[in-house]
Structure 1
């Protein structure tokens, strides 16, 4: 584009930056642009496109269901009926292609994200690009004009919290990407989103959210505490989800996580919101506390509600029963337990939604979407994650027991042979998610110590490792002879059988062999969240 095409804009006063389909103008030498966040924006474009297609398809199917007229007495439909049906079907197919989605970007800054949405997502009808800063709104207006998207994008100068609270049930999509925590914006955003709509939420305050150095601040913002450890980034996701779920429950709204990712220095969550009082009743069951041992890092969980089923199939809700194995001290090593939560206990992802995004990713133009390999990598990993809580590193087990670090294949093989499932995690490399309890994990650890002929007398008796190795209750209910007999391998030694390859370890290894970009490659020197814009 040239300055002649836009006589009111003196392009010599601006630095130009192109990302995706948008070219953004910044005042000379005042560019606040973070290269690393292009992944966030690329993924958001594809996710919103997937959602808008899904939402439109649901509406068409609902209309078809309502208009369906059954044929009775063996009568054949008349020509007029067929013509009318075809006309309706054609109209519905045409409607599927018509832009309809109303979007709000609550904290728009330069307008880059809103402009990309307008140019790259066909079903978007209109976008509000809002910002509290008057200078930012001026920048948005310049960029709307420069990109010729005034027919879809409208700037707005307002406090996002006040604005959203005044526009209830208005937006199909709301994008919250603040500097720091999104917590202050959630209440009004939950009111502004339509039934069945989608919210995109970013939190960049990972020092608070994923650490255990500021438990009081984490609790104040998110209504729960993190306790650190291997799975601290998954705990961060679950804390944010719980805050969103409890916020929505006040308005009789439930949440459906579609894709929740821990990325670099922030978390990014894609969530559908439904007006569903019956689902709100499930919130207590989908909320849990956790305890983490300060010595061996074992994790135990406690849901805050329970669901039972009556004979007629209806659900009955009640109070959860306290877990007898959770106390002030760890049952494995005796060290002090620390309590975290409350946090979300449901799933983090919807695999069907991930498949839909991946299908768009496979067809996307790599000249526009520069981060397609990484999108494929993280979403493939998220899709294959086990629907279990938290993950651990085999190196953490070896560190406690003072033994050589086992490989991922060795540990997942043992989990599979003991009858459990395992997967990798998108958040941290070389970590394992499993549905096995920690008693089983420590049983495997003890077998690894036996295999390497560890002399526990060389360990201090006060260490967690020594106490676990000396705890005869760990794994006492695991009958290796019975499991070996069931597998037809009675002639094998215990350690040979336990650590042999199987379907579980093969599936994990197959995923590890895929050449996928999971983590950010350094785009610039000293990249990161950067300072708050002035």
Structure 2
């Protein structure tokens, strides 16, 4: 296997060289390394460090982190090298483990870093870790049960199968996540909430609950950081944030219905057309503003190649309303036959009329608000 040296953050590692002209496709090298995910890794280092600082320091206890599906190992190597916590880098590929061990030796971090060659589910069922990180190629669904059992304090999950999550591959999404998504204007947030709903149900089987600290949908993937809470009562409380979205494709009216048993009206109360039902999914908060700020502070203090882009995105996450499903301004304007105003103008006018409103990290042309579609259309029409 041919390798080359690259530097991300403060960590220099060897990564595989793909077949010439293959553009980093997963099959282009014996061990997968994706340079496009650098911002994901920059945020991972910052968020993990921010969380570790929240944990009560105890010199008698070691904070343990596992990258259960390491591939080239670059994420876990950066965690070990840049945060100093005890790290296990696991992969089923022998070539991946050999490369990981070579990088551990080169970085001289063997005192706090272990290369593991196991099936990820086996490892997670065998051991408990304070922080469990799932970053698979594709869906994390096959690993969620084991991760839910293993994790103690923080669960970090990436999903790159956005087509099933967001409804473009409907049947695949139903199989993997046991939920029905909409492939509509807010499909990216739908994917986030479908993923969180699947994780919540897995955690509840272990009498655990999650407190979402940071969740973002960026390009072709979803990433979430979930603080763990223990106990059946916490799990019961968490499940109250599960529910469904009722959506009218004709007029755009939508409503969040909480609970795992939902009764909906067959026809839209606004226009009389047939409603659609999506879910079950997570309807609770997806960010903690305080944690977003703490992660931003970590990014500002670190040497990260995507620092400015990452901070800008996290600021949007921090400031967006905790309301399920955003509105696409251009779609509404097209329906009304009017030109779109600047998004900040729309948000300010919503606030002027007594509604809550914010931008959203999901889309630059979209916003979140507690106004219903009728009020939104009136305000946008008045701005033309």
**Following TM superposition, by how much is the alpha carbon of 1:141 offset from its aligned partner in structure 2, in angstroms?**
1.6
CA shift digits 1:501-532 (9 cap, x unpaired): xxxxxxxxxxxxxxxxxxxxxxxxxxxxxxxx
Q: Name which of 50, 55, 65 aligns with 1:103.
A: 65
Q: Partner residue of 1:402?
A: 337
- In the TM superposition, 1:104-253 aligns within 5 A as 104-122=66-84, 124=85, 126-167=86-127, 170-194=128-152, 197-210=153-166, 212-253=167-208
CA distance in 1, matches of 2:245, 2:254: 7
CA shift digits 1:397-428 (9 cap, x unpaired): 12122233344244324422332110000111
**Following TM superposition, by how much is the alpha carbon of 1:299 offset from its aligned partner in structure 2, in angstroms?**
1.5
Q: Partner residue of 2:350?
A: 415
Establish whether residue 364 from structure 1 lines up as the match of residue 322 from structure 2: no
CA distance in 1, matches of 2:243, 2:95: 44
**Matched residue pairs, number?**
373
CA shift digits 1:11-61 (9 cap, x unpaired): x9642222223322245656543222111111100111111110125x7xx
**Following TM superposition, by how much is the alpha carbon of 1:166 offset from its aligned partner in structure 2, in angstroms?**
1.7
**Following TM superposition, by how much is the alpha carbon of 1:159 offset from its aligned partner in structure 2, in angstroms?**
0.6
Which secondary structure does the structure 1 equivalent of 2:105 belong to?
Answer: helix
Q: Name which of 21, 24, 31 aligns with 2:10.
A: 21
CA distance in 1, matches of 2:37, 2:194: 23
CA distance in 2, matches of 1:395, 1:17: 41
Structure 2: gaps (5+ residues): 20-28
**Following TM superposition, by how much is the alpha carbon of 1:432 offset from its aligned partner in structure 2, in angstroms?**
0.9
Q: Which has the larger radius of gyration?
A: 1
CA shift digits 1:173-226 (9 cap, x unpaired): 1110000000110100111111xx11110000111112x332222121112111
Q: Name which of 340, 360, 375 aligns with 1:425.
A: 360
Whether the 8 Å contact between 2:9 and 2:302 is mirrored in structure 1 is no
- C-alpha root-mean-square deviation of aligned residues, in Å? 2.2
Which secondary structure does the structure 2 equivalent of 1:103 belong to?
Answer: strand
Which secondary structure does the structure 1 equivalent of 2:298 belong to?
Answer: helix
**Residues 410/165 of structure 1: CA separation in 2 closer, same or farther (3 Å cut):** same
Whether the 8 Å contact between 1:288 and 1:345 is mirrored in structure 2 is yes
- In the TM superposition, 1:424-503 aligns within 5 A as 424-444=359-379, 448=382
Whether the 8 Å contact between 1:165 and 1:191 is mirrored in structure 2 is yes
CA distance in 1, matches of 2:158, 2:8: 20
CA distance in 1, matches of 2:340, 2:361: 21
CA distance in 2, matches of 1:228, 1:337: 15
Whether the 8 Å contact between 2:65 and 2:88 is mirrored in structure 1 is yes
Which secondary structure does the structure 2 equivalent of 1:432 belong to?
Answer: strand
Structure 1: gaps (5+ residues): 1-11, 60-94, 306-318, 453-534
CA distance in 1, matches of 2:50, 2:378: 44
Whether the 8 Å contact between 2:316 and 2:359 is mirrored in structure 1 is yes
**Following TM superposition, by how much is the alpha carbon of 1:438 offset from its aligned partner in structure 2, in angstroms?**
2.5
CA shift digits 1:268-295 (9 cap, x unpaired): 1011111132221123420111122222
CA shift digits 1:241-277 (9 cap, x unpaired): 1111110101110001000000111001011111132
CA distance in 1, matches of 2:239, 2:124: 27
CA distance in 1, matches of 2:275, 2:3: 56
Whether the 8 Å contact between 2:33 and 2:72 is mirrored in structure 1 is no
Whether the 8 Å contact between 1:129 and 1:154 is mirrored in structure 2 is yes
